[in-house]
Chains A and B, each alone.
Chain A
Amino acid sequence: MTVKLAALAAAALAVLPVRAAAASTPSDKLLREHLWREVRRMPAAERPKVGLVLSAGAVRGLAHIGVIRVLEDAGFPIDVVAGTSMGAVIGALYAGGLDKDGLWDFGSTLRIDSGNNMSKVRLLQLILADKLLSSANTEKRLRAVIGDVRFDQLRKAFACVAMDIRTGEKIIFRDGPVAPAVRASMNLPGIFQPVLYRHRYLVDGGVVDYVPVDVAKLLGAEWVLASVTEGDFSRTSPTNVLMTLEQVIDIRGSLLSRQQRKVADIVIEPEVGGYEFYQVEKSGEVMGKGVEAAKKRVEEAKESLILFSLPRLMRRWSAP
C-alpha cells in the first residue's frame, strides 16, 4: 500500500505542470500568414536585411542544420549569415548555396575525423607528447562541397569569427578565401594546432564570440535570428583533458554570449545541452532537436519580423 501511495504521489508530481498550450486564435493565424506573404513579396532592397547567426558548439552545432531547415520551409528571406566554430562551417555551406537537404546529408555523414587528422595514435601523441592535431581536413572538406570560393563569391553575405591566440583579439573574416577562415574559426585550442593565417595564430572563435550577433549586424543585418547551441555544463562532470577544455570554452562562451543574446531579435535554443562535443554518431538526433526547437518558435519569429517590417510595408501600401 505504501508503495502504491508513493507511486501515486510520484505520478501526481509528474503531472503538476499540466495546462493547455497557449495558442493564437484562427483569425490571428490568418493575419500572420497574410502579412508573412506580404513580407516575402517585398523586394530585397525594400525589406529589412535578415541575419542568421549560428553559434559555436561542436557537434551540438549540427542542430543549426535543423533550424535552417525549418526557416527555409517557412520562407525566411535570409540575407546574411554569421557563424562561429561549427556555426561557421554550417554557415559557410549554407551561404555557399548548399540547400537544406544537402546540409542534412552533410550532417548525417559527418565523422569524428571529418575535419581533422584524428586517429588513436595521434590522440595518444596528443596526450603523451603534447603533439597537437591538425584541422587541415576542414578546409578540404569545405572545398569539396562548395568549391574553393572567396567570401564575395558566396550566395549570401557571410562572416565568421576566430581568435588570435597571441593577442586575444577577435578576428572577423569577411573577405578572402572562405576555407581557411572557417578552419580557423573551428580550430579548438588545445586539440588542434593554431592556424597560421594572415600573420596570425588563430584558434576557435568560440572563445571570444560564441554567438556572433554583432558580426551579423556588421554585415548589415537589421533583424537577427540566433541559433544557440550551448552545452549544459551544469549537468556534466568532465573526466578527461579534452572534455575539461571543451567545458571551459563552453562556460566562457556562454558568459560572453549573454549580451549578444539580448541584441538578437529571436533566439532559438535547441535542447542539445546534454550532447558531448564529440558525439557525431548522434548527428541525426541533434539535427532533429534543431527542427523541434525552431518549429516551436518559428511563428513567433515570423511575427517579430513582420512587426519589424511594418513601417516599410505601410510605405508600400500607402504609396500612390
Chain B
Amino acid sequence: MMLRRRAAVLALAVGLTWGCAGTRWAPRSAVSLAQEESWLEAGEYLKVLESLPLQRIDRIPRRLRTRAYTLLGRSQERLGRYDQALLTLQFAEGLFPKNLEILCDLAGILHRVGLDDRARPYYLRALKIHPNNAVSNVGVAEIYQKQGLLAKAQLHFEKAMLEEGWGRDAGLLRSYSEVLAERGDLAGAMKAIHSAMATRSTAEDRIVLARIQRRLGAGEDGYGQLDLAVVEAPERQDFRLQKSLWLLEDGRDEEALAVVAPVLAQDPSDGVGLWVRGSVFLRRGDIARARADFAAGAESHRDLFAAAVCRSMLEQLTSRP
C-alpha cells in the first residue's frame, strides 16, 4: 500500500516537471546558440542583438544563458555600444558572479574604455577563481603597467606567459619588454622583444627595440630599426617624428629637418612637425621663420601639448627685443 502511494507521488512529480518544462522551453536538444556564434564570428553583430534580446535570454536553458549574455555583450561592444554592453554584462555578472567568461568580458570592456580602476577588481576576482587565467593576468598586468605598479605588472605578465601558447604571443611579449625596460632591466627587455620579433615582427616591435638600443648606447642601431619601421608602416608619421626628435637631440639639425619635411608636406599643421622645424630655425638664429612655425603650431589642435609648447615659445620670441 505504502509502496503504491510513493510510486503515485513520484509519477505525479515527474509528470508535473515534464509539463512545466514543456510549457516554458523548447526540447533541450533543439536549443542552441550555434547560429549566434557564427554571426558573431562573421561580424554580423546586429543579427546577434536581434536574436538575443535580454527577455529571450531569460527564457533559454540555464546552461546556455551565460554564453548568451557573453555573445550579446561582445556584439554590443563591437558595435561601439559600450554602455549597452556594460549593462548586459553587469546584469549577467549579478546573476552569475563566478562565471569566468562574464567576469573577463566585463573587465575587458571596462579596461578598453579606460575605466581601469573599475576593471581591476573584476580581473582580480577572476584570478581568485582561476589564478592561471591568462586573459585576466594579461588584463590586470596591462592595468598595473598603466598605473605604474611595474613589479606587479611584470609578475602577472610572467604568470600569463606560463599558460600554453601565451608565451609566444607577440603583443604580450612586447608589453612585457616595455615593462622590463621601464624597470631598467634592459637586457631582459631586449630578450623579450627579440622573442616577440621571432614570431612576428611589426613596426611597433621595431620601435620598442630601437628605444632599448638607444638607451643601451647603440644609437645607430636604433636609427636603423626606426628606418625599417618607417618603411613597414609609411602611414605612421609618429615614427618619422620620433626620428626627427632623436636627430635634434643628437645635434643633427639638418637631418632632422629632412626627416620632418615629408610629415609637414602631408599635414602642414602637424604641431610636432612645426615645432621640430621651428626649433631648427631657432638654433640657426632664423628667428622670423622660427616664429612663423611656432605661430602655426600654436594654432593647430590648440588643446594638445605641442600647441602649448609652440605658444609658450612664440611668446618668448615675441617678448624678445
| Residues in chain A within 8 A of chain B (CB atoms) | 4, 7-8, 11-12, 14-16, 18-21, 24-28, 30-35, 37-38, 70, 73, 288, 291-292, 294-296, 298, 303, 306-307, 310-311, 314, 317-318
B1 interface residue (CB < 8 Å to A): no
The answer to whether B82 and A27 have CB atoms under 8 Å apart is no
Complex Cα–Cα for A14 and B87 (A): 8
Complex Cα–Cα for A32 and B271 (A): 12
Q: Given A30-B242, A291-B149, A310 and B305 touching (CB < 8 A)?
A: no
- Supplied contacts A11-B86, A14-B86, A303-B308, 16 more A-B pairs, CB within 8 Å: A7-B91, A18-B83, A20-B113, A20-B114, A21-B113, A24-B305, A25-B238, A27-B237, A31-B241, A31-B271, A34-B245, A291-B148, A292-B148, A317-B279, A317-B283, A318-B285
Which 9 A-B residue pairings sit nearest by Cβ, starting from the closest?
A21-B114, A295-B148, A11-B90, A15-B86, A26-B238, A34-B245, A27-B272, A28-B305, A27-B238
CB pairs A–B below 8 angstroms (28 shown): A4-B58, A8-B87, A12-B87, A15-B87, A18-B82, A18-B86, A18-B115, A20-B113, A20-B114, A21-B114, A21-B115, A24-B304, A28-B272, A28-B305, A31-B241, A31-B245, A31-B306, A35-B309, A70-B148, A291-B149, A292-B149, A295-B146, A295-B147, A306-B309, A307-B309, A310-B312, A311-B312, A317-B282
Complex Cα–Cα for A317 and B275 (A): 13
Closest chain-B Cβ to A42's Cβ sits at a distance in Å of 13
B114: A residues at CB distance < 8 A: 19-21
Complex Cα–Cα for A295 and B147 (A): 6
The answer to whether B283 and A19 have CB atoms under 8 Å apart is no
Q: Given A24-B304, A314-B313, A11 and B94 touching (CB < 8 A)?
A: yes
B158 interface residue (CB < 8 Å to A): no
Closest to B276 in A: A31
Question: For window 157-180 of chain B, which residues contact chain A by CB distance below 8 Å?
Answer: none
The answer to whether B113 and A18 have CB atoms under 8 Å apart is yes
B83: A residues at CB distance < 8 A: 12, 15-16, 18
Complex Cα–Cα for A35 and B248 (A): 11
B305: A residues at CB distance < 8 A: 24, 28, 31-32, 303
B142 interface residue (CB < 8 Å to A): no
Complex Cα–Cα for A18 and B106 (A): 13
The answer to whether A34 and B248 have CB atoms under 8 Å apart is yes
Closest chain-B Cβ to A9's Cβ sits at a distance in Å of 10
B199 interface residue (CB < 8 Å to A): no
The answer to whether B113 and A307 have CB atoms under 8 Å apart is no
B115: A residues at CB distance < 8 A: 18, 21
Q: Given A21-B113, A21-B114, A28-B304, A34 and B87 touching (CB < 8 A)?
A: no
A15: B residues at CB distance < 8 A: 83, 86-87, 90
A33: B residues at CB distance < 8 A: 245
A310: B residues at CB distance < 8 A: 309, 312-313, 316
Complex Cα–Cα for A292 and B148 (A): 7
Complex Cα–Cα for A14 and B115 (A): 12
Closest chain-A Cβ to B132's Cβ sits at a distance in Å of 24
Query: Which of B150, B270, B282 is in CB contact (< 8 Å) with A318?
Result: B282
